[in-house]
């Protein structure tokens, strides 16, 4: 009998990991995040004013998106750049796709506001009224406000041969006005809606009949009050048309550091010039006449594709005025963060230095208080044994207790050295002010490195203890900002570990002096060794899995758009390593693709707090390792910034991050969305009748229990 032939095995072709189909466009991924923010505004389980806040955040995010991301794409197109990114989209193609998606987003956002939120606000006693719907009493109140407050502030600006088109500042709301003079000639004029005044005008207060019920607020938008009273600004003229418009300009600061003798002066000038950048977006109302739109297009020197016809309010960011109304029952319940574990003195003689010497201490904000960081710096400022304090300041905000502590330390005669990153986008002005204040007190202030942005979050206190010198280190995923510490989720670490202290000392020396150091004992530092070490750790996980199985990576970050690291993660998935990614914002990696990323799961959590901590967990054959720090997996973080990832030492802290933080986020079935292979996201839901898990609410509840 003839031998039976063996069945042919199917030929499996290895997928080219450079294939553009394996990558989501960064800009579209960022807009996908904005859609998740919009979903929170539409979610009726969120408190009403929190939903308003999410719409305002969406508007603010889109403003920044156009000022930075779209402005950069337009610059590439103007420069003739045709090169596509890993996803295969050219700059021109990206602009087309962005416009299409933004129009959809804005349509849904305004529909949410008008059909869901405005009626709900009215039911709660907050009425946003159209000026034409005001009764005589309300109209009188609005007009009185115009006469007493607005009229002296406003400046009408005409357009004619003797008066050129006025400058329209970035993010300003304006009125485009068409008037007719006594001779029948028509003219264009512009009035800026002042952003220094409340954006909503109270036209009446009526007490509800229900006892102890809050008063009804009847409000009208500021621009409506101005539009209704334009006759006072143009006496003897007939107002034919009046329509609001909103301008967004290129706000990225191009710094030619090689040519800048004084970086501080260069940044200051860049901030001043930001309001004069080229226009990248013009929002107008749907009913603005075409001739007025053409006047704006020609004078703002933009293309028709940069014009967006949207419903009012034109600038969603202004909805924050509604959120700021004092109605706490319509907002998230406040809570007081717990004292971080390990910082409760065991004896009266213990102080924060003794507690840190005893053990490394992890702080998980905002569920645990940021106050110990401020307390440590204030203690150091007045401790006679403290010799020096060194810090990196990236975003500290206007009211900065951290900077006040440094100034106190200087007054006490300590050696204080601070690296202030002047190039922290949109925080340049406050950083400039703090840099000058510190310099004026004699603090050693360094403004950064040539071509690099300093983004790491580190502080070091040098203290004399007997005959020895000990260094106390604070490392974090977030900024030294007491305000955002209540709004962002971040993790900090207090340690007196000598190896880490050596690394931090070397890093400060490289930032303030000269150093060619190419490696560190404990820290992963960009652009020195972070990329290479991360890739090596992932490859180690691959080899460990091939030998013993059980390979597992859990990465939590803001963004994943670096193509080389994405390919390494794809290779880990192909090797069978289980990969769970918590990516809040942009994710260029596509999960769930057979033969490439079938072992990768991508989750995004958008909730009450902005997820900001970066955590990198490696199972490592059971010898688990966790790194925390400031770096996302983006080319800018790995190549063009000074970033730090620091290790957690000891199984107790590693288990805490794995079991009490990462596992909670991965169990979320309320605020979590799971990314699909096409780049879309679907909400994660509870299975088999299990109780829903809201990770942030769970962590708040645990914080409250810790204080009982």
Catalytic site positions: 455
Beta carbons of 33 and 105 less than 8 angstroms apart:
no
Q: Compute, in degrees rounded to 10, the torsion defined by CA atoms 507, 512, 518, 524.
A: 30
**Other Cβ atoms within 10 Å of 385 Cβ, number:** 13
Rounded Cα distance between 57 and 490, Å, is 20
**Other Cβ atoms within 10 Å of 213 Cβ, number:** 10
Q: And the tokens for 58?
A: 């969406």
Beta carbons of 476 and 491 less than 8 angstroms apart:
yes
If phi over 0 gives left and psi between -120 and 50 gives alpha, with beta otherwise, what is residue 353?
alpha
Rounded Cα distance between 269 and 264, Å, is 9
Give the CA distances from residue 112 to residues 39, 41, 52, 119, in Å, rounded to whole numbers and listed in that order.
10, 8, 10, 10
C-alpha 312: how far from chain center: 25
- Which residues, in sequence order, are CB contacts of 560 under 8 Å at separation 6+? 566, 581, 583, 586, 587, 588, 589, 632, 633, 634
- Which residues, in sequence order, are CB contacts of 83 under 8 Å at separation 6+? 90
- Which residues, in sequence order, are CB contacts of 680 under 8 Å at separation 6+? 32
Rounded Cα distance between 459 and 472, Å, is 8
Pick the closest to residue 425 from 26, 94, 63 (CA basis): 63
The three-state secondary structure class of 527 is coil
Helix axes 563-574, 530-548, angle to 10 degrees: 10
């Amino acid at each position: 009998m003839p031998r039976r032939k063996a069945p042919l095995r199917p030929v499996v072709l290895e997928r080219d990991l450079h294939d553009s189909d394996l990558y989501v466009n960064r800009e579209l991924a960022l807009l996908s995040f904005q859609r998740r923010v919009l979903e929170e505004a539409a979610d009726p389980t969120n408190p009403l004013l929190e939903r308003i806040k999410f719409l305002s955040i969406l508007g603010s995010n889109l403003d920044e998106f156009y000022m930075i991301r779209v402005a950069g794409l337009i610059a590439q197109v103007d420069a003739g750049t045709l090169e596509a990114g890993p996803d295969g989209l050219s700059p021109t193609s990206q602009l087309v796709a962005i416009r299409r998606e933004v129009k959809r987003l804005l349509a849904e956002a305004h529909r949410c506001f008008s059909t869901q939120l405005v009626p709900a606000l009215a039911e709660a006693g907050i009425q946003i009224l159209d000026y034409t719907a005001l009764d005589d009493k309300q109209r009188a109140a609005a007009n009185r406000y115009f006469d007493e407050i607005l009229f002296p502030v406003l400046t009408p600006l005409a357009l004619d041969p003797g008066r050129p088109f006025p400058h329209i500042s970035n993010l300003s709301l304006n009125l485009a006005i068409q008037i007719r003079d006594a001779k029948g000639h028509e003219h264009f004029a512009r009035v800026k809606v002042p952003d220094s005044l409340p954006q909503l005008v109270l036209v009446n207060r009526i007490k509800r009949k229900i006892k102890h019920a809050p008063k009804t607020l009847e409000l009208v938008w500021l621009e409506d009050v101005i539009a209704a009273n334009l006759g006072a600004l143009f006496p003897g003229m007939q107002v034919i048309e009046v329509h609001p418009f909103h301008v967004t300009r290129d706000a990225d600061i191009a710094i030619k550091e090689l040519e800048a003798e004084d970086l501080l002066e260069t940044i200051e000038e860049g901030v001043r010039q930001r309001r004069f950048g080229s226009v990248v977006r013009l929002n107008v109302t749907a009913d603005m006449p075409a001739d007025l739109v053409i006047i704006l297009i020609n004078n703002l020197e933009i293309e028709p594709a940069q014009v967006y016809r949207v419903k009012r309010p034109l600038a969603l960011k202004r909805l924050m005025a509604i959120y700021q109304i004092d109605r706490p029952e319509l907002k998230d319940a406040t809570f007081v963060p717990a004292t971080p574990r390990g910082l409760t003195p065991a004896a009266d003689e213990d102080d924060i230095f003794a507690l840190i010497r005893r053990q490394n201490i992890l702080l998980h904000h905002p569920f645990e208080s940021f106050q110990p960081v401020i307390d440590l710096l204030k203690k150091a400022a007045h401790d006679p044994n403290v010799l020096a304090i060194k810090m990196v300041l990236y975003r500290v905000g206007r009211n900065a207790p951290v900077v006040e502590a440094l100034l106190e330390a200087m007054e006490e005669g300590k050696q204080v050295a601070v690296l202030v990153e002047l190039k922290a986008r949109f925080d340049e002005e406050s950083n400039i002010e703090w840099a000058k204040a510190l310099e004026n007190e004699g603090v050693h202030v360094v403004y950064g490195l040539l071509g690099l942005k300093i983004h790491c979050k580190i502080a070091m206190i040098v203290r004399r203890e007997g005959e020895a010198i000990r260094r106390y280190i604070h490392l974090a995923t977030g900024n030294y900002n007491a305000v955002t510490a209540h709004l962002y989720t971040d993790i900090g670490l207090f340690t007196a570990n000598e190896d880490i202290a050596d690394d931090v000392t070397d890093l400060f020396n490289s930032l303030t002096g000269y150093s060619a150091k190419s490696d560190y004992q404990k820290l992963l530092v960009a652009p020195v060794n972070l990329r290479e070490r991360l890739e090596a750790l992932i490859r180690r996980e691959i080899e460990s899995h091939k030998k013993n199985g059980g390979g597992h990576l859990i990465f939590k970050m803001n963004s994943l758009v670096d193509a080389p690291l994405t390919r390494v993660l794809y290779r880990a998935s192909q090797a069978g390593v289980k990969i769970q990614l918590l990516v809040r914002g942009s994710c260029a990696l596509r999960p769930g693709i057979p033969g490439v990323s079938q072992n990768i799961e991508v989750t995004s959590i958008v909730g009450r707090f902005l997820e900001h901590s970066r955590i990198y967990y490696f199972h490592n054959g059971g010898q688990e390792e966790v790194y925390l720090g400031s770096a996302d997996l983006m080319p800018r973080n790995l190549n063009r910034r000074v970033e730090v990832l620091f290790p957690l030492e000891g199984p107790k802290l590693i288990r805490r991050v794995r079991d009490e933080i990462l596992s909670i986020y991965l169990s979320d079935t309320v605020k979590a969305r799971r990314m699909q292979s096409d780049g879309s996201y679907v909400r994660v839901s509870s299975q088999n009748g299990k109780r829903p898990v809201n990770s942030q609410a769970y962590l708040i509840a645990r914080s409250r229990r810790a204080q009982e």
